[in-house]
């Protein structure tokens, strides 16, 4: 990593963490009926409306850039850009935003200086000084972002008598405990497997696909229960789990294939009943955990079966379907939300693939804007939680035992111990810092494709409006709430959060 980039990253990080950000404090939860009909409890004209901005090729990194005032409503012209926010229309309840705490992230963390370890934890998890992550994903034994393949049992141990999470005690468990502590002692955590042990699979290999053999459906279901109990014994509560990471992808790393019918039957006949039998029936089960393209097909196959659906909390999805034509299929998220409103939607993984240091040094805006666009569109289509992939990677985009090197919002240099906070970190922060668990999404509609937006009302009645500009131009726009209008400017290739309290 070039020296100038390291200095710049450190400058931005210090600037960000030393700044006294506005922070909403939650009030007691209101009765659900009253909450749904609740009006804004403050006068828009006197509300404290603060604007935070992150812009590419600038020193603006979640920086307070303006305090705005609302005045009489101004009818926007067709040539103007307006974001109309209607707090009276409320939608899904927000669960949280966070990232995966992988082996690669944990190992990289422990190669940082002690000072930068503390800085990293504060930056990600502190609500006031950082961006307030409240959600996390962990892995059930190895994935590609591990130094090697491994399981928690000895090969051919069908009874799971040798089950042990000793491997994770070196890096991942202590790293996870530090994250929980940094988050104030509570972090909504779910787990995902990439592959059963090799002997349980049709290809006798943890890598390159293969399927779970029918005779191992029950032992594999038992494996999930053992993992949850072992982690909870270590003081790491497990809120939920997905059945299989990317069940339609034959990867050169840990992978396992399930058709929709196979995943449905494994869930209703084995995993669901096993968790209930083991006293783990309260764990939230997430199906699919793959791309948006086949999201509806998988959800409908499982959720149309009442015996399977009763175990399902929600459907998880990734963003990698855009390899086909560069167009994310956000409409599929909306279709599932519309068809199954009683089930949740959770974004379970996304990262920018193909690590390239030059793209970071040149502040390629597409890296961060991919996050901003996906989060806005996914939330507007009914998603309740959003999970980034690796929370931290090293200076090579790893470690990864099959060379699948990727970007992360933060990279740690294992040679120097330094940290590089990329623009993706700040873009995610525009959501995670100001939208808190329990918030409700509210109507936010833009009059131009030049700016996209979403908006949420927190439990304490404060409002967070996110607006993103992917163009090369500074844009003028307005925000209208309850027949009150405020004027704003947004720099090229930037994102803004407007907070009202």
- Catalytic pick among 90, 246, 321, 395: 246
Give the separation between CA 21 and CA 414, rounded to whole angstroms: 30
Give the separation between CA 145 and CA 234, rounded to whole angstroms: 22
Q: What is the DSSP string of 404-423?
A: --B--SEEE-TTT--EEE-H
Give yes or no for a contact between 479 and 463, defined as CB atoms under 8 angstroms apart: no
Closest CA to 389 of 372, 375, 405, 408: 408
- How does 376-411 read in b/e, with b if 16+ C-beta sit within 10 Å? bbbbbbbbbbbbbbbbbbbbebbbbbeebbbbbbbb
Residue reference for tokens 């050169």: 252
Q: What is the DSSP string of 243-260?
A: S-SSTT---SSB-----H
> Rounded to an integer, what is the distance from CA 368 to the centroid of its chain?
14
Q: What is the DSSP string of 331-362?
A: HHHHHHHHH-TTSEEEEEE---BS--HHHHHT
- Catalytic (active site) residue 154: no
- Catalytic (active site) residue 107: no
Give the separation between CA 478 and CA 195, rounded to whole angstroms: 50
Give yes or no for a contact between 479 and 85, defined as CB atoms under 8 angstroms apart: yes
CB atoms within 10 A of CB 420: 23
Task: Give ∠ CA 355-347-409 in degrees, rounded to 5.
Answer: 30
Give the separation between CA 461 and CA 42, rounded to whole angstroms: 9
Structure tokens at 221: 């279901």
Give the separation between CA 255 and CA 330, rounded to whole angstroms: 25
- Catalytic pick among 90, 349, 369, 395: 349
Structure tokens at 63: 């920086």
Give just the sign of the alpha carbon dihedral 455, 22, 61, 414: negative
Catalytic residues: 246, 349
């Amino acid at each position: 990593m070039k020296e100038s980039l390291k200095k710049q990253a450190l400058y931005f990080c210090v600037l960000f963490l030393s700044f006294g950000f506005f922070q909403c404090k939650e009030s007691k939860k209101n009765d659900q009926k009253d909450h749904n009909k609740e009006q804004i409890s403050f006068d828009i004209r006197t509300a404290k409306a603060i604007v935070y901005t992150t812009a590419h090729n600038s020193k603006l990194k979640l920086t307070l850039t303006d305090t705005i005032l609302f005045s009489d409503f101004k009818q926007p012209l067709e040539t103007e850009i307006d974001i109309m926010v209607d707090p009276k229309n409320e939608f899904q309840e927000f669960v949280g935003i966070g990232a995966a705490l992988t082996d690669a992230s944990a190992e990289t963390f422990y190669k940082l200086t002690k000072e930068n370890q503390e800085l990293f934890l504060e930056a990600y998890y502190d609500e006031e000084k950082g961006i307030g992550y409240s959600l996390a994903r962990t892995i059930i034994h190895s994935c590609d972002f591990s130094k090697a393949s491994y399981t928690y049992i000895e090969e051919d141990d069908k009874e799971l008598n040798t089950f042990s999470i000793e491997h994770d005690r070196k890096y991942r468990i202590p790293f996870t405990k530090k994250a929980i502590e940094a988050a104030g002692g509570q972090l909504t955590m779910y787990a995902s497997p990439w592959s059963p042990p090799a002997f349980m699979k049709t290809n006798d290999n943890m890598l390159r696909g293969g399927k779970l053999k029918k005779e191992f459906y029950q032992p594999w279901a038992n494996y999930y229960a053992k993992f949850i109990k072992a982690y909870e014994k270590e003081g790491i509560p497990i809120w939920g789990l997905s059945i299989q990471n990317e069940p339609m992808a034959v990867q050169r790393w840990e992978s396992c294939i399930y058709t929709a019918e196979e995943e449905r039957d494994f869930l209703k006949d084995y995993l669901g009943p096993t968790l209930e039998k083991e006293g783990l029936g309260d764990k939230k089960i997430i199906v699919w955990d793959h791309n948006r393209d086949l999201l509806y097909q998988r959800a409908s196959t499982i959720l149309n079966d009442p015996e399977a659906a009763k175990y399902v909390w929600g459907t998880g999805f990734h963003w990698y379907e855009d390899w086909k034509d560069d167009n994310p299929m956000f409409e599929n998220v909306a279709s599932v939300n519309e068809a199954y409103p009683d089930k949740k939607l959770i974004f379970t993984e996304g990262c920018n693939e193909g690590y390239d240091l030059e793209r970071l040094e040149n502040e390629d805006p597409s890296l961060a804007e991919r996050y901003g666009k996906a989060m806005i569109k996914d939330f507007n289509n009914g998603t309740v939680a959003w999970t980034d992939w690796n929370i931290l990677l090293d200076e090579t985009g790893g470690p990864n035992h099959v060379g699948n090197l990727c970007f992360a919002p933060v990279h740690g240099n294992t040679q120097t111990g330094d940290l590089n906070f990329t623009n993706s970190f700040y873009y995610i922060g525009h959501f995670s810092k100001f939208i808190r668990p329990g918030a409700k999404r509210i109507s936010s509609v833009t009059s131009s494709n030049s700016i996209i937006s979403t908006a949420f009302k927190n439990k304490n009645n404060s409002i967070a409006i996110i607006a993103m500009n992917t163009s090369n131009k500074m844009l003028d726009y307005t925000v209208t709430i309850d027949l009150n209008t405020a004027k704003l400017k947004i720099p090229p290739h930037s994102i803004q959060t407007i907070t009202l309290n």
